[in-house]
Structure 1
Amino acid sequence: MHQIVKGMLYLHTHGIMHRDLTLSNLLLTTSMNIKIADFGLATQLKLPSEKHFTMCGTPNYISPEVATRSAHGLESDVWSLGCMFYAFLTGRPPFDTDTVKHTLNKVVLGEYQMPTHISAEAQDLIQQLLQKNPALRPSLSAVLDHPFMTQTGPTASKDSGSSDGGSIDSGIATISTASNATNSSSSRLQRKTRQVIGQPLPNRMAPIPSHSLHSTSSSFKSGQDWQPHLQDDLSRMGIGR
């Protein structure tokens, strides 16, 4: 966890917003060092406070503001960190369901089950990272100073997840979509050998530019405000029907 946060801090210090931080995009070297990979959706910011409105990423890890195509910035990566942290401790992402639509519903509403088997420090860090309001999420420096990150001993070691055999990224297929002017086919499907019950979740949602810019204040209104946009986005990707 320390290595991931420090890697993210390095990226954010250099104005890079990853936009697709998932467990699948973490690589482990033979010397047990973690490398952050797959910068296909990353963007370079001119200012730390710069905001974007593009909907992209992996459904289980995108933030509410990204899911609603509202203004989002570096704080959306912090949300993804919270999803990864939760998955590390429990074996599944916090908003995991059998369909993309239901997953994004839970993301926007911030509905997840807090595991009871983990320490109070771990629960507190999850709650901070998964704040629906991006302004309330901690900075990466504050994450490094959190009691969970600084503790040593049996409390830290007991916070480990046990997977039920399913996929932590949830899905039997990986869908990568990219814009290509010379290729009429905009999607690529890579089948995986494992089987998961239920409708497969794509491991990535391609960038979907917003036709209109929504203010940050509109991110967390009622479901009617975001549902039409969400359904339109899913239809354009050929999923969630």
Structure 2
Amino acid sequence: MVALPMMDVAARLDRLRQRLADAGCDAVLLTNLVNVRYLTGFTGSAALLAVLPDDAVLVTDGRYTFQAAEQIKAAGVDARIEVGGLSGQRDAVSLALQGVVRVGLEATNVTWARQRTFATEWLPDAEMVATENLVEELRRVKDDGEVARIAEAARIADAALAAVRHRLVEGITEEDFAVELDFEIRRLGAAGNSFESIVASGPNGAKPHARPSDRRIGPGELIVLDFGAIVDGYCSDMTRTLCVGPPASDTLQRMVDVVAESQAAGVDAV
């Protein structure tokens, strides 16, 4: 994989802090792991992040003692790390947010049961404030490092298809082609697939989200492919419609011609 420019992770916490007052909270407890990663660079599967006006505390479990320290240091993020089991995490969050009057929670990520646990057991003296899109709105604007990762994810997916598309003329099944495409995406350096790849041939192409089946791909058929790659947490998503040789019928040829003409008209319009 090509060398990618650094992302400005370290500056993100301060941009979030600037949004707290407008959200009606004095601090925020983040539970969405995608947002935690965006703000800290930490990629573990369990974490909470308390963000205060003058402090930030990442809380995780013992599996990630070394990883958390390494990744936060690499990202240049000014945050403390607390490690413990469930009770230890509760105590760390309670201590970090002690004295805070209004604590924001991510409303779209916290269940009612978890909100009640935070309100009655973890932070009984604070008011829980439902927030929406505090971090997501920051994520909408990408820096150069983020754009580069999205571009690399698109490049890998495109190269993966180019490497395996010859298999379509060999009578391969949809399932087997999906496996080979997915493997090539990983081989080229992606962390994984953005989602389960769609390989839909012939009549299966009429299903918007068809799952690869044991159906063999035949000559003259149209094949809808929907796939993507993940690079450092950033995804690509592309759809391609291919034909195995010349279209098998006048109807299929007309479909190809109409779509091609429509696409060309759209390109000319912009």
Q: Which has the higher helix share?
A: 2
Q: Which has the higher strand share?
A: 2
Greater RCO, CA 8 A, separation 6+: 1
**TM-score under structure 1 length normalisation:** 0.23
Return the index of the structure with the highest Cα Rg.
2
